Amino acid sequence: MKRVFKIPVLLCVVLFIFMVLGGPVLAVGEVVLSVEVTGNEQVKEEQILQAITNTRLGEALDRQAVVKDQQAVMDLGYFAMVEPYAEEFLGGIKLVFRVVENPKITRFEIQGLERIEPEEVLPFFRQQPGDVFNYATMMNDLVMAQQYFNEEKGLLIPPFTGSAGEINEMMRIDEDGVVHLQLGEARLGRIRYQGLEKTKEFVVAREMTLEEGDILDLNILREDTQQLARLQLFSDIAPRLQPTGEPGVMDLIMEFKEGENRNLILGVSYTPVDNTLLGNFGIMDPNLLGLGQKLSFSMEFNPNNVFNFNFEFQEPWLDAKQTSLGLKLYSNHSLDLSSRSLDGGIFSGNDERFDNKYTYSYNEKKTGLNLTLGRPLNRH
């Protein structure tokens, strides 16, 4: 009695291990005379049979072909389980695919979204309450919704990839027909700045309104990039996103190519009319010491001992509220120069009434200091 009990149990254990490790028990090598489907209620048998293309009638049963057909039926998306098995049939075998259909949809429940309302996602679903739930159709609909929110609202929904367990956590249907979708907008991980040589990192970081941990909004990223371009410190700015090991989190890489914006002006010219040299000197640096400060300085000498001087300094970020400070020192001598005499004729340059060879309608000299404080009314 004791042995009789143990032997069947041992055989059952061995058979179970073989079924788990080796797949369905099939009469490999037997000729397939018929292929049937059982268990379907709402899904038409013709649709299922059209997916079975590797197993052929009149040919010997091939395990690999059956596995491929099993996966093809599963890929239709309607079934929670597909199980093939073989039966004796007219001197050969009949291959049967037993299927278990997904429940019928009663309603959708979407959780996890913050900036996108669940009602905005529902119009993308082709399946309606009463339909047999289809994983493949739902996946395609979610991809269409993902593309729309990316292009129209600048919001990224993470790609629907991963292991079967991860997909099941994101999308499942319970026995009551409630489709549970766990979605969420992608978030920003780390922000890294590359290519900065002269410019200090905080100069570009303070212009970024998109912060680590925020929902990744491509519209805000585009505005931040445009704001950095308006600084006129870089010849090229290329943002790119990089996946991380954490699901739904993307790192941002900001690549910069700095432009050479410093200008040095040295000029000398000669006027043969009065045998006089003209000279000017200037320097301009829009990124002083890599701090984003602007400095310009210029001097000019002309033949009548007129001296022009300009000095300008600007600090765009005086405090955390982006208060700007501007300082300008200047001493400019403006002359309205004419080659005509006071009598209206052409002035020859030899009239003794004038100490120099030119006539001036007015002579204006300005010397002063400008101090300005500003703050933007709008960030962008």
Answer whether residue 28 shows pLDDT above 80. Answer: no
Place 320 in a pLDDT band, splitting at 50, 70 and 90. confident
User: Are 135 and 102 spatial neighbours (Cβ–Cβ below 8 Å)?
Assistant: yes
Place 311 in a pLDDT band, splitting at 50, 70 and 90. very high
Closest CA to 179 of 209, 142, 214, 217: 142
Q: Is 343 exposed, middle or buried (0-12, 13-18, 19+ CB in 10 A)?
A: exposed
CB atoms inside a 10 Å sphere around CB 69: 23
- Weakest-pLDDT range from 142-156, 183-197, 263-277: 263-277
Place 337 in a pLDDT band, splitting at 50, 70 and 90. low
DSSP 233-255: -EEEEEEEEEE-SSTTEEEEEEE
Alpha-carbon distance of 67 to 84, in angstroms, equals 9
The more confidently predicted of residues 32 and 271 is 32
DSSP 66-108: HHHHHHHHHTTS-EEEEEEEEEEETTEEEEEEEEEEPPBP-EE
DSSP letter at 214 equals S
Give residue for tokens 């290329």.
Answer: 238
Show the tokens assigned to 64.
């690999």
Mean pLDDT (whole number) for 322-342: 73
- Weakest-pLDDT range from 4-18, 99-113, 269-283: 4-18
CB atoms inside a 10 Å sphere around CB 164: 7
Q: What angle (nearest 5°) sits at the alpha carbon of residue 153, between those of residues 226 and 143?
A: 125
Alpha-carbon distance of 241 to 253, in angstroms, equals 6
Compute the 3-state secondary structure of the chain and give helix, strand, coil in percent, each to the nearest 5: 25, 40, 35
Mean pLDDT (whole number) for 197-211: 93
Percent over 90 (pLDDT), the chain:
54
State which of 175-189, 306-320, 329-343 shows the largest mean pLDDT. 175-189
Mean pLDDT (whole number) for 208-231: 93
Angstrom distances, CA of residue 69 to CA of 43, 73, 141, 308: 17, 6, 25, 88
* Amino acid 181: pLDDT: 93
Place 261 in a pLDDT band, splitting at 50, 70 and 90. confident
- Weakest-pLDDT range from 204-208, 312-316, 354-358: 354-358
pTM > 0.75: yes or no = no
Per residue in 134-171, pLDDT (tens digit) is 999 999 999 999 999 999 999 988 776 666 777 777 88
Q: Is 203 exposed, middle or buried (0-12, 13-18, 19+ CB in 10 A)?
A: buried
* Amino acid 11: pLDDT: 33
Alpha-carbon distance of 124 to 143, in angstroms, equals 9
Per residue in 71-89, pLDDT (tens digit) is 999 999 999 999 999 998 8
Alpha-carbon distance of 378 to 8, in angstroms, equals 81
Place 342 in a pLDDT band, splitting at 50, 70 and 90. very low
316 contact partners, CB below 8 Å, separation of at least 6: 292, 293, 294, 322, 324
303 contact partners, CB below 8 Å, separation of at least 6: 271, 274, 276, 277, 278
**Which neighbouring-strand residues pair with 329?**
311, 369
